[in-house]
Amino acid sequence: MKIVQVKTALLSLSALLLAGSALAADPAFPKAPAGKVTLEVWSWVPGLDKTVAAFEKAYPNIDVKVTNLGGGPQTYTKLLTTLKAGTGAPDVAQVEYGFVPSFVDTGGLADLSTLGANNYKKYFVPWTWGQVSPDGKAVFAIPQDTGPFAMVYRNDVLKKYGIAAPKTWAEYEKAAATMYTKSGGKVKMGNFYATFAPWFMALAWADGAQFFKRDGDSWVQTLNNPNAKKVLNYWYGMIKKGHVGTVQAFTADYWNAAGAGQIASNFEAAWGPGGYAGSMKDKSAGQWRAANIPQWTASNTVKSGNWGGSSSVVTAQSKNKDAALLFSLWLNLSESAISQNWTNGGLFPASDAGLDLAILKDKTKNPSKFFGGQDISSVYATASRGVNVNFQWAPWFPFANDNFNKQMDLMLKGKLTPNQALDAWQRETMAEAKKQGYTVR
């Protein structure tokens, strides 16, 4: 792994100052470098230009040029091309947690620990730091937003069928059977997302599953781990009985079914409720609620997983790494930036203090308004603090992500059992990882 070494002085209290627009609750950020600096930032966050304006006001000598590439494969392809070419990369880029390792292995990301980034570890929800610093030493990004898992459900539909929001998976399975019977099969308690590996992985993550783990210069992959098999067999059992659906996520079919009360609950990341409000608009508005995901064992401790979320990486090509780190820290730790990221882009914060910001609890605006005025941010804050810290991703995850769809399709067609599907996922992804040159077992 190529790590860029950058000469830097040790940070001390005398070398720190508060950002001009920061509130008292903000941490002390690194001192801005002297002289005029221009940073190029690639992101897909809506309204980031408004957040940047506040940063430039606080740091007048730093100009930030934002390019919105829209996210998705085209964004990563362009970034990867520039990193491999050794030229054309931005100073800062937004990268999802699951894809950080693949960029680390290009040698194109700066190790921010050499610039004092580890001094800010304490300000983030612990599991998020593990996503950007798997070995606890090198730091390849600053956590930006998160997608902790919670259960969303139609309060009116559950009441209609005399069902309380399930607190355990046993209760959920029982509720699914009850709803199927009482509705004559017309209403599904839930829905399995068969084309989104991270959705399934988040459910297994909540049960302690580990799919990838770096071991020195090699890797261990266990896509067919016992937790994953337990979760998939659980869902497949309900799918076979017709108690839950398999409607593809983010489609008109899904939104229509959810809006009509034909799907009574689902498991969504913190950014999900905003999609519900935006996609269903007036359909079922005010009828939705959020709760902790069911637990395998009844307990007062909530365990959850995460789907999505992203980070701010600083590229090795950046000629202004100190300023780039300052911007990345301010963007994800200052109350001003976190608030604007939430209102403009719907980003659920990765900082511990950010989880408790008052603006997230505004019940008069979506998504809380769509959810009957419930303070759903508190539910997701609890979920975030219950995410397993040790979860890791591998550089070949993009292949694993696509291959998952293939195996789930075969399973749903009855050609593979759940265990066989996971075994095939493990086998074919392992072969691809080795083909790419990784030492993996």
Assign residue 237 the CATH number of its domain.
Answer: 3.40.190.10
Give me the pLDDT at residue 2, please: 35
Compute the distance between CA of residue 289 and CA of residue 112 in angstroms, rounded to an integer.
40
> What's the average model confidence in pLDDT over 62-91?
94
Per the CB < 8 A criterion, the answer to whether 326 and 32 are in contact is yes
Domain membership of residue 259 (yes or no) is yes
pLDDT in tens, 238-278: 999 999 999 999 999 999 999 999 999 999 999 999 999 99
Give the single-character DSSP code of 387.
Answer: B
Q: Report pTM.
A: 0.90
Same structural domain, 325 and 271 = no
Q: Using alpha carbons, select from 345, 309, 350, 315 the residue that is nearest to residue 329.
A: 350
Domain termination residue (choose one: 361, 378, 405): 361
- pLDDT, tens digit, for every residue of 381-403? 999 999 999 999 999 999 999 99
| 61 and 113 both lie in a single domain | yes
Report residue 418's pLDDT band, with 50, 70 and 90 as the boundaries: very high
Burial per residue of 307-334, b for 16 or more beta-carbon CB atoms within 10 angstroms, e otherwise: bbbbbbbbbbbbebbbbbbbbbbbbbbb
How many other β-carbons are positioned within 10 Å of the β-carbon of residue 17? Answer: 13
Output the six-digit token pair for 272: 């999900």
Give mean pLDDT, residues 9-34.
56
Provide, rounded to the nearest whole percent, the portion of the chain with pLDDT above 70.
94
The percent of the chain in helix, strand and coil, each rounded to the nearest 5, is: 45, 20, 40
Domain membership of residue 255 as a residue range: 148-304+386-435
* Count of Cβ atoms closer than 10 Å to residue 150 Cβ: 24
In this predicted structure, the answer to whether residue 31 has a pLDDT above a threshold of 60 is yes
pLDDT recorded at residue 278: 92
pLDDT at 346 exceeding the cut of 80: yes
In a domain, 75, yes or no: yes
Asked whether residue 68 is assigned to any structural domain, the reply reads: yes
Angle in degrees, CA 311, 95, 368, rounded to 5: 60
